[in-house]
Amino acid sequence: MQKVYLDNAATTQVRDEVIAKMQEALAVYYGNPSSTHSFGRSAKTAVEKARKTIAKTLNAQPSEIIFTSGGTEADNMILRCSVRDLGVKTIITSKIEHHAVLHTAEELEKEYGISLQYVDLDEHGNPKLDHLEALLSQDDSKKLVSLMHVNNEIGNIIDIKAIGQLCREHGALFHSDTVQSIGHYSWDVQTVPVDFMTAAAHKFHGPKGIGFAFIRKNSGLKPLIFGGSQERGFRAGTEPFHNIVGLEEAFVKAYEHLGQETETVAALKQYFIQKVKQEIPGAVFNGLSDDMEKSTYTLVNVRLPFDKQKGLILLFHLDMKGIACSKGSACQSGSNLGSHVLTEILPEEELEKPSLRFSFSMYNTKEELDYTVQVLKEFAEN
């Protein structure tokens, strides 16, 4: 049976070079980075080298990069510490954010009594900037805006510079979950007015369980996890050295080959869109995911012209045919609830039809996409 992996927005295949770096770290550089002997110093040097590499690529300072277990921890840390340490009384977000942001904000509303507000979305799922400005202007409370750069389900790209500028003009902090965009787009934090960003290595062919937060210098945030003095005292706990060097290698390779791989993956996405439109009449792309300019080049979200009963077995059918994709984010795979993103942007009758997210990487081929569309076509005809 052919195996086709089209769930790269959930996680990606680890590069061979990354695996080699991690194996070396596990076998040779096994000292604790906090130890003062040569074994520890070697590990510590590599950790700081990784921090500098990431900072240089983002045009940040090394002290602004804090290693975390991934995007969820980084999102939690930034939102929670902003309320606890910086006097944030209002969080403004949208109802189609990742649950790492949505559920954290909901908990902070319960615990601290903050005001939790949601910016209106247009019919495609993009935040309405005029409504965001109205929310920022309505009172003098300290505000944090949290809006993701690339939506993990429908792929929409927000105007992060315009939103950041609005936040600056109104004295609000700006956090963006950039898990789906770091490693896939160039960044310069000196020109993008964002205070906090988050990343996860496994979204750009690195290991799971490691990521980082960008926290702009002199933010005033204090530690969430206490213990030792790791991460300049901001995040206690022995550094997962093998994961950090894996993150660095994946990050370096992503940006070394960014132009070529962007072109390759974008061509695959464009090809898949054309094939679906050609072979499956009635298929519709959700959000702006078929717009090559306004959505990420890494994914599409397609609504298929099947009834509800047929839709219930579609994902199982694809899995039996060796095709991996998603009906939403991987974080929801254990839930019977539908996509909270599509619920916000689609009329109720359209939610009855199955929607699937297909996400691509440099390891995919046109032949795999041909096979996938053929399987979908046969399913539609039976």
Indicate if 81 belongs to the active site.
no
Q: Is the pLDDT of residue 233 over 90?
A: no
| 169: Cα within 13 Å, side-chain hemisphere | 12
Predicted confidence (pLDDT) at residue 332 exceeds the cutoff of 80? no
pLDDT beyond 90 at 270: yes
Residue with tokens 């509303």: 109
* Distance separating alpha carbons of residues 172 and 133, to the nearest angstrom: 11
Average pLDDT over residues 278-303: 97
Average pLDDT in the 32-61 region? 96
Model pLDDT for residues 159-202, shown as the tens digit of each residue: 999 999 999 999 999 999 999 999 999 999 999 999 999 999 99
Whole-angstrom Cα distance, residue 168 to residue 159? 14
Average pLDDT of the chain to the nearest whole number: 95
Residue located via tokens 């996938």? 372
Question: What confidence score (pLDDT) does residue 51 get?
Answer: 98
91-99 average pLDDT score: 98
**Over residues 238-265, mean pLDDT:** 97
Q: Which two tokens stand for residue 139?
A: 């009172």
Selected catalytic residue, list 81, 167, 325, 331: 331
**HEC profile of the chain:** CCCEECECCCCCCCCHHHHHHHHHHHHCCCCCCCCCCHHHHHHHHHHHHHHHHHHHHHCCCHHHEEEECCHHHHHHHHHHHHHHHHCCCEEEECCCCCHHHHHHHHHHHHHHCCEEEECCECCCCCECHHHHHHHHHCCCCCEEEECCCECCCCCEECCHHHHHHHHHHCCCEEEEECCCCECCECCCCCCCCCCEEEEEHHHCCCCCCCEEEEECCCCCCCCCECCCCCHHHCECCCCCHHHHHHHHHHHHHHHHCHHHHHHHHHHHHHHHHHHHHHHCCCCEECCCCCCCCCECCCEEEEECCCCHHHHHCHHHHHHHCCEECECCCHHHCCCCCCCHHHHHHCCHHHHCCCEEEEECCCCCCHHHHHHHHHHHHHHHHC
Sole residue written with tokens 């980075």: 33
pLDDT of 34 over the 80 cut:
yes
Residue pLDDT, tens place only, 109-148: 999 999 999 999 999 999 999 999 999 999 999 999 999 9
Q: Which residue in 22, 2, 72 sits closest to 205, CA to CA? A: 22
Q: What percent of the chain has pLDDT over 90?
A: 92
pTM value is 0.95
Query: What top-level class would CATH report for the domain 4-12+258-381?
Result: alpha beta
Say if residue 355's pLDDT is above 90: yes
Let me know: does 234 contact 66? Beta carbons within 8 Å: yes
First vs last C-alpha separation in the chain: 20
Q: Looking at the predicted structure, is the pLDDT value of residue 329 above 80?
A: no
Residue 336 confidence (pLDDT): 56
Domain boundaries, the chain: 4-12+258-381, 16-256
pLDDT score of 109 = 98
- CATH for the 16-256 domain, from 1.10.1200.10, 3.40.640.10, 3.40.50.2300, 3.50.50.60: 3.40.640.10
Residue 81 backbone phi and psi in degrees, to 5: -70, -30
When mean pLDDT is compared across 45-49, 84-88, 324-328, 339-343, the lowest value belongs to 324-328
- The residue type of 133 is E
Question: pLDDT at position 328, please?
Answer: 63
Question: Which tokens hold the place of 364?
Answer: 């995919």
State the pLDDT at residue 112. Answer: 98
What is d(CA 229, CA 242) in angstroms, rounded to the nearest whole number?
19
Answer for the pair 161, 192: CB distance below 8 angstroms, yes or no: yes
**Is 78 in contact with 175 (CB distance < 8 Å)?**
yes
Q: How many CB atoms lie within 10 A of CB 144?
A: 25
